[in-house]
């Protein structure tokens, strides 16, 4: 495994990081908790020491499973990344920015973006309990909250750093302008954003900004929620309540299928899967600090970790990029 320094911090994170959205269950057609915990532990055993989660994932379930999974491991050798700012339990008292209605057991649950100073500090205490730890390595706002000033949110993070409850602070889904605004109050370490072979918008602005300003970039959805594994084209069926039924429709699926067919021989020649090739390609892109990869069982977790060992030559990288240009 490769370990990389995150932005302006002394955090050394695994280049492939465990993404814990799917193990929360909600929006992913449910989950098997035993398998999920096993996937976290298999990740650690294979060198993935960095685990990224959030309170919203399963309404606390993902954080709780991470807390259970890391029992027995040396906490100082594991980096816990979590978030705040999506409130679903009514504690915002109607404040904040309505985001969307989530679903649990057939019931609609309104979710708000809310990141007031008091709310941030409250959320962190709850996350610490669920994770069964006394500090978080990197705390990130989940989505921008238009109803709270960025400076107020950053002031809360500064307090938490001073208290030793978090080692570093970052943001998620922030524009470059929002990052610059945040850094007027606190020198944040990173921005977590969506990025993949099919979604390269950050290369226009965030990547050059990060390179010039020592900002870490953490990327999620490198596999486009499983589309780039190729399994969807082979199997083509998802559970009815799986959000990806709608999500995949934003892409030209025929072009994506042709692209995957074109690069499959590269993976095959290396004894790798498409997933591993895609993860490695993503990890090698300029300014990318770490890449989040989800897994729902131990085998998937081990395979994700091994992606970092793949060597992609200059000619192979050029070929992959030329095929991407056709999508």
Place of tokens 């290369």: 203
3-state helix, strand, coil in the chain (%, to 5): 45, 20, 35
How far is residue 320's CA from residue 281's CA, in Å, rounded to a whole number? 9
How many Cα atoms occupy the beta-carbon half-sphere of 16 within 13 Å? 30
How far is residue 15's CA from residue 207's CA, in Å, rounded to a whole number? 17
State both tokens at 325: 């240009």
How far is residue 200's CA from residue 212's CA, in Å, rounded to a whole number? 19
Which of 57, 114, 174, 232 is flagged as catalytic? 57
Q: Which residues of 209-223 are buried (b: 16+ CB within 10 A; e: fewer)?
A: bbeeeebbbbbbbbb
What's the gap between Cα 78 and its chain centre? 16
Q: Which residues contact 153 (CB under 8 A, 6 or more apart)?
A: 85, 115, 116, 117, 120, 141, 145, 182
Active site residue 57: yes
State both tokens at 103: 């679903």
First-last CA distance in the chain:
31
State both tokens at 260: 């995957």
How far is residue 224's CA from residue 194's CA, in Å, rounded to a whole number? 9
Place of tokens 């990173």: 190
Q: Is 56 exposed, middle or buried (0-12, 13-18, 19+ CB in 10 A)?
A: buried
DSSP 8-state assignment for residue 16: E
List active site positions.
57
């Amino acid at each position: 495994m490769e370990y990389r320094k995150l932005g302006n911090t002394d955090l050394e994170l695994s280049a492939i990081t465990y993404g814990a959205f799917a193990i929360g269950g909600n929006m992913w057609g449910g989950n098997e908790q035993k398998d999920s915990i096993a996937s976290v532990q298999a990740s650690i055993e294979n060198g993935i020491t960095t685990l990224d989660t959030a309170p919203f994932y399963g309404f606390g379930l993902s954080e709780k499973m991470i807390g259970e999974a890391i029992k027995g491991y040396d906490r100082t050798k594991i980096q816990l990344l979590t978030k705040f700012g999506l409130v679903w339990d009514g504690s915002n008292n109607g404040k904040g920015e309505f985001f969307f209605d989530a679903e649990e057991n057939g019931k609609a649950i309104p979710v708000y973006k809310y990141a007031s100073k008091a709310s941030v500090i409250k959320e962190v205490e709850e996350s610490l309990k669920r994770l069964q730890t006394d500090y978080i390595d990197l705390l990130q706002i989940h989505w921008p909250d238009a109803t709270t000033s960025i400076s107020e949110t950053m002031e809360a993070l500064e307090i938490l750093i001073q208290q030793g409850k978090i080692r570093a602070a970052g943001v998620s889904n922030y524009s470059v302008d929002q990052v610059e605004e945040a850094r007027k109050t606190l020198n944040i370490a990173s921005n977590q954003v969506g990025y993949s072979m099919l979604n390269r918008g950050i290369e226009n602005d965030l990547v050059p900004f990060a390179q010039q300003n020592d900002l870490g970039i953490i990327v999620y959805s490198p596999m486009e929620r499983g589309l780039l594994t190729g399994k969807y084209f082979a199997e083509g069926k998802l559970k009815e309540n799986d959000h990806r039924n709608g999500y995949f429709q934003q892409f030209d699926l025929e072009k994506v299928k042709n692209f995957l067919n074109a690069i499959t021989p590269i993976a095959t020649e290396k004894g790798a899967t498409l997933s591993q090739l895609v993860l490695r390609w993503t990890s090698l892109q300029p300014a990318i600090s770490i890449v989040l990869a989800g897994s729902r069982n131990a085998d998937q977790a081990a395979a994700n970790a091994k992606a970092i060992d793949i060597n992609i030559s200059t000619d192979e990288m050029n070929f992959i990029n030329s095929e991407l240009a056709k999508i």
